Chains A and B, each alone.
Chain A
């Protein structure tokens, strides 16, 4: 990693954690904030895909598919941003499905990791378990307005922590002549 990439990873991690904590600590009326974040992320992602098309994928066989994908994602991002409000239940359902699926996959993978004798099975299993608990929370507490903010906030804080850890990881490989 270059110094710039490390700083970028650290700052974006810090910002993610900050937003996540704000959501967790003051979850009232956070549906709009969650929608705003989703819209922002989709819009930036759409722009990224279009940039990728114009700088790389347009030279590739069937590269035009990337252009279409970029346009659709960007459109989706702008559309989400234009919505006045979305009932929390839809966002909760979305979060529940994502967490349940990830949790199941992680637990299955931890079983595979045990089979191969890999050391990270405990970590994978606990990831899977947490994901499943979050999915259950989304369903169980769907009547509480704060659930969306707390579940979404936990996810953002975790992703921020990973970014900060990445910023300090070793990337130099020694070549002995």
Chain B
């Protein structure tokens, strides 16, 4: 997903869930900040590097793919962008090494989604924003894993875009190219993807790189054969998934605001969103590289307030100038605390499932401020 959904659509979802304009902006800012809080950025504001929620292309090119490098990559990408659906999934006749990768495949409505939302309960709005980013990505990034893996994340030339015609679909073959500067050509279904690297742990095989930005476009419906699915085809219907993601965000934020006592998986705030369904679906289905303008307009109509454009450095000075003991009370301080908690949870659950791909995890029980058991 891109800024259109993580920032503007998240704002709309927060507002519909009952947050006011300012609160919705903070949640949306935090959700979008997940895609930009890299180690390089944290270094520039002297923040904790463990709180990195993404890696810049530059950082990834430098990342070593030895065991430690892979664990670091997996902690970031599995925790914030490709939340594993089932850490105990089974598949016959596979080796342990294969299964460790297979079990990190992302998908919606896994147990970790529930744990993540419960973790954000009672926490600052920054944690809500982080959780909304991850929840939304479980829909967009389904079927890919947040760890470099050729045998899981690879795709081949057998890739088609589907266009609705009458009751059915017509297929159009997708062409991939590797130019990082040319924008995707929606009219001719020409998209940029990562180069094929035959090495299992190549950074090119991280997440949905081999499928390009297709998972990030809300309008896209496509079918392909994923590397891991025994030559079975998958049809990915983004318009349907993005709508569900939106309604699940509204439901989750209603829970986080205390409107319901329990967060249930596979439950959506369809009733709350119903009034706006047609408008939302029309934005989602529109073929465009980025839908920020449409979402922004919708959000401003909802709240009657202006939604400021996302500014990466909006809170940098506040954090930089704060005294050491006051940093955790700043916007970015609350965000980094939330990010470390989220990374800790996901790493811990992966480790407890017997999978060492995200590294080792040590549990500490917080008994009071600054004291641990």
Query: Which of A59, A63, A166 makes the CB contact (< 8 A) with B94?
Result: A59
Query: Which of A9, A61, A171 makes the CB contact (< 8 A) with B226?
Result: A61
Whether A172 contacts B156 in the complex (CB less than 8 A), given A59-B228, A117-B43, comes out as no
Query: Which of A9, A59, A65, A109 makes the CB contact (< 8 A) with B198?
Result: A65
Flag whether A85 is at the interface (Cβ < 8 A): no
Which residue of chain B lies nearest to A58 when distances are taken between CB atoms in the complex?
A: B151
Flag whether B182 is at the interface (Cβ < 8 A): no
Flag whether B364 is at the interface (Cβ < 8 A): yes
A109/B228 in contact, CB under 8 A: no
Output the least CB separation between A1 and chain B (Å).
6
Whether A61 contacts B225 in the complex (CB less than 8 A), given A113-B58, A116-B58, comes out as yes
B66/A119 in contact, CB under 8 A: no
Interfacial residues, chain A to chain B (CB-CB below 8 A): 1-2, 5, 9, 52, 55-57, 59-63, 65-66, 69, 109, 112-113, 116-120, 124, 166, 169, 171-177
Query: Which of A52, A57, A173 makes the CB contact (< 8 A) with B344?
Result: A173
Distance, CA A12 to CA B362, complexed state (A): 28
28 A–B pairs (Cβ distance < 8 Å), ordered by A: A2-B356, A9-B67, A52-B200, A55-B97, A56-B95, A56-B97, A56-B200, A57-B151, A59-B94, A59-B228, A60-B227, A61-B226, A61-B227, A66-B198, A69-B198, A124-B62, A171-B67, A172-B362, A173-B361, A173-B362, A174-B344, A174-B362, A176-B344, A176-B364, A176-B372, A177-B364, A177-B365, A177-B366
Query: Which of A57, A171, A173 makes the CB contact (< 8 A) with B343?
Result: A173
Flag whether B181 is at the interface (Cβ < 8 A): no
Best-buried of B59, B151, B361, B362 by chain A (most CB within 10 Å): B151
Given contact pairs A59-B151, A173-B75, enumerate 18 new A-B contacts (beta carbons under 8 Å).
Answer: A1-B68, A1-B360, A2-B356, A61-B231, A65-B198, A69-B198, A113-B58, A116-B56, A171-B68, A172-B360, A172-B361, A173-B343, A173-B347, A175-B344, A176-B341, A176-B372, A177-B365, A177-B366
B198/A119 in contact, CB under 8 A: no
Chain B residues lying within 8 Å of A118, measured Cβ to Cβ, are 40, 43, 58-59
Interfacial residues, chain B to chain A (CB-CB below 8 A): 40, 43-44, 50, 56, 58-59, 61-62, 64, 66-68, 71, 75, 94-95, 97-98, 150-151, 154-156, 198, 200, 225-228, 230-231, 341, 343-345, 347-348, 356, 358-366, 372
